[in-house]
Amino acid sequence: MASGRAILKPCTPLGIMELFDYYNIELSGKNVVIINRSNLVGKPLYHLMLERDATVTTCHSKTKNLAEQCLGADIVITAVGNRAHFTLTDSMIREGAVVIDVGTSRVNGKLAGDADYDGIIKKASYATPVPGGVGPMTRAMLLRNTVTAASISKGFVTNR
């Protein structure tokens, strides 16, 4: 993955990149904060962003001044998944920022993301909801990877 040569890329980061492509969100030269350092989301996404010439900061539970880091970002991607311990609020993002919410938690028995979507959407130029944002893209990329893997196993040439 770090070399940029992986044929099958992790589904959630790949789905996020597809969202950027679909909505024509330029990454080159943008300051991106990823609030996650996992092997499934944060690290692969970091590398995919670097391939697109973004300036990437990875934040996590030990990051000092997280709100300050987010305020300096053009794009904030949060994948904490524990709303009881972390909520991204509109006071943590700049006007016009893009917010990608990967986190999932239960709040009052309902699925919720890391971000306070109702507050964020008033300030962000684009924000993904939970449910219905990144999750469907993850599933679509799983299907893409499955087709690619099957094609490779049968000796077919693929463009992905």
Domain ranges of the chain: 18-148
E strand or H helix that includes residue 92? none
34: three-class secondary structure by DSSP? strand
- CA distance linking residue 54 with residue 88, whole number of Å: 21
- Per residue of the chain (160 residues), give pLDDT as tens: 555 566 899 999 999 999 999 999 999 999 999 999 999 999 999 999 999 999 999 999 999 999 999 999 999 999 999 988 999 999 999 999 999 999 999 989 999 999 999 999 999 999 999 999 999 999 999 999 999 999 988 888 655 5
Residue 108 burial class via C-beta count within 10 angstroms: exposed 0-12, middle 13-18, buried 19 and up: exposed
Q: Which CATH architecture has domain 18-148?
A: 3-Layer(aba) Sandwich (3.40)
**Strand order across the beta sheet in which 98-101 lies:** 55-59, 31-35, 75-78, 98-101, 126-127
